[in-house]
Structure 1
Amino acid sequence: MKASTRQRRIIELLLEQKHEITAADIASIVGASTRTIHRELSDMEPLLAANGILLHKIAGLGIRVEASDDALERFKQSFDRSDSLEYSAEERKILIFCSLLEHDEPVKLFSLAHELRVTMPTISHDLDELEESIVKQGLTLVRRRGYGVEIVGPEEAKRHAVSLLAINHLDDTDLFGQFADLAVSNPITAQLLDMIGKDNFKKLEQALWELSDDWSNTLSESDYTRLLIKLSVALTRIGHGCVIPADRTSKSEVIPLLQGLLDILNIRLPIQEQAYFSHLLDQEAFPESSLLIHHDDMPTIEGVKLLILRVEAQLQMSLTHDRSLEEGLIQHIKPAFQRIKDGIAIRNPMLAPIKKDYSALFSIVRSAVQEIYQKIKVPDEEIGYIVMHFGASLERLKPFPRKVRAVLVCTSGIGSSKLLAVKIAKELPQIELIGHYSWFEARRLPPSRYDLIISTVDLPLEPDRYIKLSPMLTTEETNKLRSYIEGTTLKKISSAAAAETDASGHSPMDRLLLLQLYSGIVLRLLDGFRVHDLTLEQGQAHLEQQLPAMLSLIGETSIDTHLTKISEQLIARERQGSLVIPDTELALLHTRSEWIEAPLLALYRFDTPLQLSEDGAVQASQALMMLGPLKLDTYSLELLSEISAMLLLPELLTVLEHGNAASIKLFISKKLEHYIKTKLDWRES
């Protein structure tokens, strides 16, 4: 049975459907254009007809297969036993790239042609098209007659290339699902899973799960997956003898996270590999860990606020008070747009149903994104993810008796619970997921902390206390979960308990405790706030020269003792990119340091511009300094970030420029009071 890999995917999709599916939906799922799908369907019709199967096309509904049960069963058995005899040009190039990265010696063109079942000129043409992307990744494609073809370059670049292929062509179901089942139907999936190392990936996931208390909250889901892939690729290639050459300058310093990882895995690495892994973990697991606010957070926040305003104007309903929407978009857009700039493909298997279910919202969001982010071409796949954030916000705006606090239980580490958490957040945003736990941990949680346990495995509990779901959360399971909550969980909550807990999920005691916590941080921060007017001497107007004096004015003993070191940290931060608020002369200077004991805020005004760059091109007449301890609690960091977001408000900029310390404190305290009330969903009686 001759069929290309794409045709096999289309056939499998049609056989799985109980109802009609449109060509556009098929195109989105298999990654092709609608025109290509129509062409493939025409080519496939004779093959299907020869097996007693008809393609039934219904205008306005879609396509489905028609055949007797016996004919379908015979075809499925024959189809499952058959091989895919053809690869698309894109599939061939991926497999060629993988093959060359796997071999540390030349590969003959004849061997590649035989393996992929095409002619040698076809392979040569594929290599021509591959060469540019290979060079971009710091590698060289060597091709010589009689010698063969190979990829040469640094081991670090080869690892990066393998990781990028995996990031672009594997999704969470491939990575966290059952490898054996997933690899059978797709040769590219099988090849990439082998190259990243199936066993290593699972071991690393479990090891990082055990170490997660120390660092995992700093990573997004996509960042966590990317880190796992890079670590697994490195371990797998080391196992195959592909190691980074020894370098006399390599340092043997091992960061604590790596040491913990090596201890759990019970492995030892050469010095140069320790340096590589330490850099990888430091870069991926602790990005910008010394900073309070990343230097390009401000444009991200500004863009998200504009996007929400554009969309709510079109929808004619207010979204600006939905803090979850704003925070979610800020966390999502920044890394997502960076991946687009880096050329990493965006995959969105939900695109077709998103376009179908949110057609009007999709058009509104796409138009707003194109208007605000004109310098980047955002594909529909990414628009789909942004639409999901707005769709979730619209769901949150619908009346619901109360939030349902749920605990996720999974015995296989963070992978399957991660998948399920993402699905629940998209399908049922009314559920507040308070954490991922093993059953051992979950059974020790006080019952008052949660309303429901959602598990991927059977638990020794009564049926009314938990629900078992698969990590994929199918449509049927989504409906099952919704019905379970409405019919069991919410009914189980007594009227007395319901009266004590408002729609925010906070009891009066919870709200008061959080209010005390937030207000204590704000009062300590604003109580220490001062405005300092500085006169800059001629020839002493550079930031490096003024920082020690600026820090000494704060009057903290721990800072005075380490003026030089904290100054160096602030300078290092500034060199990453000056943070002068757009269209102002206000600079934001900030860092986190082991020598700072508590969050601090200070404003400096200069009689002549302060030089922030060596050439004097970047200047500021004012500087707002934010300092925080290296280990800063979530609540303090949240409030400092909120103050930084206020710098987009023209009213605050005016007060900072002309007001005294009291008026500045008043403005910030009013804004933070409103923020805390919104955060706690505090309603005046």
Structure 2
Amino acid sequence: MLSTRMKNILRELLAAEQPITGTYLANVNQVTPRTTRDDIKHLDAILHQHGATIVSVISKGYKLEVNDEKNFRIFLQSLSYKDHTKDDIPTTPEERVSYIIRRLLLNERYIKLDDLADELYVSRSTIQADLKTVKQILHKYGIELEPRPNYGLKATGDEMRFRFCLSEYLFDRDEIKVNSLVETPLSPIPVEDLDKIQAIIMKQLYEHEISLSDIAIHNLLIHIAIAYKRIVSKHYVALVHQDIDEITKQKEYKVAKKIVSDVEKLFHVKFPKVEIAYITMHLLGIKLLSQTKNAVDDVLSKEIIQLINLILYRIDEQLELGIQNDKKLIMDLGLHLKPAINRIKFGMNIRNPMLKDIKNNYPLAYEAGIIAGLTIKEHIGVEIDENEIGYLALHIGAAIERKKLKTGPKRCLVVCASGLGTAQLIYYRLKSYFGSNLEVVGTTPLYKLKDIDLKGIDFIVSSILIKQSIDIPVIQVNAVLKEQDLKTIERFLFHQNSKQPLLTYFKKELTFLRKRFDSQREALEFLNTKLIDQALVDETFIEAVYKREQIASTAFGNFVAIPHPITPKTDQTFVSVCTLKKPIDWNGTLVQIIFLLCVKKNSQEDLQEMYDLLGKIIENKTLVQNILKAKTFEDFIQVIKE
């Protein structure tokens, strides 16, 4: 009923709280505004029959209005799912979670757990386990599940939040069926045959005690399926970068031969030696893991440990993440790098299905992955592609999160005049506002402060001036906490080491709005010239920006790019901003907002607040629209503040 472009438009309208311009929707579908107007006209005609309409707001854009909620909900249900047979119902926990979210959002009545279990052909306990994830996801969108005895569960929350969540889960845009990955000009391999191939792989891995990640097993499965299709169509591959004879001497070659032998019997085909060699590469370098727990030195080779230590030294030197001595990170990187280096040496790049999410959600970890990739390149002399960098970033991101957990919440003491009521008011306001992020250890009147042991207290919140000398920070606030007081404490908690407030990194003379450029190079050359004119960079700067871009694109989606030099080149930290009237191609991605990020050489600044802000912009379509509308620096700063 709906074309792909119309579905994209509906998804954007569902997610938006404000009108969306036709230009923005045209950019999403990469078509002309005229084509977009036609799509909107056809979509509106369909929606008009189902309780909704697309309203044109003068000078602002298009907005979705629903006048018959029940009818519109039924329409969305028809888009969301059809009657399922036992063969095509969701099978993985992720698929079930998406299904349950859609059922809850699109159903006005309570839904019983037993009914969900019957629909999905699973047990009630499985549904209960899935619901834990469902609740966590919905909570992030501001939607809660309301239980009612004998009736079941019902999703409750603001209608706009419902629509925003539906925009993410209605069309299954991120679901990729394994079958689609092995399609060729010939007919695709049936799912039951893929299941049989996977069973063969698992049998051999189990018998030889080889441990592979789920993604590695998936890649091996897809490779064998594609190899089979190539053989049937008489298309063979040539092995490069490595002599086949060397590979056949490896222990993993025997395992690959057994896998191939079983697959040959299944499909009645003959795999040539070169194909067996390629399958061997998927297995080569994987450590045969024993059942006993081994120390890092026992499991990893001396060379790998030295390389990882150098990688972590370089990361801490440039980014100050404090993860250099994380033993789990050293082990995880080592177990990942052993097979990864073999893949890279043999010219085998693997797909990373999580790459976009990693770049968007863990930009700091991804930059650390870039540094790791450059260090590896120095040692083995080959380029590390962004798929591998993404996997390295996952391990580093986990270490960053571990470090946050280990530090625990900061602890504060509330000090005020002798009035207990004021102290208690501040105490409970802090507990309510900061929750688990702050431990308020207690309250005390000022005259008793000298008798209190402040060991283990990170700072004091005081409603009165403290004249006596204290070794820990004191934050003075109003007796009745105001928003400004809470923000001051928040900055101390999360950005204590910042040298300057976030907004001072943006400067009027470095902000260029609503420009016209035809290419990425033209835009970067323009910004480089402006920085040179202000003596902020030298002639080596732009080359360092291009070198970083060569490793992996800094276009992070949602029309945003964050270019920066491969190593710090400036004497101060700042962001140069450029917005464009029309998007430009940025290594295959459309970009309309450029944040040229420059970090001070040998910086000790905590830039997490900056990375958090840029991450929010990448994720927020409305915020991007508002930035693009800004005509002055003051407009831009106001958008950032809000």
Report the TM-score when normalising by structure 2: 0.32
Normalised TM-score (structure 1): 0.30
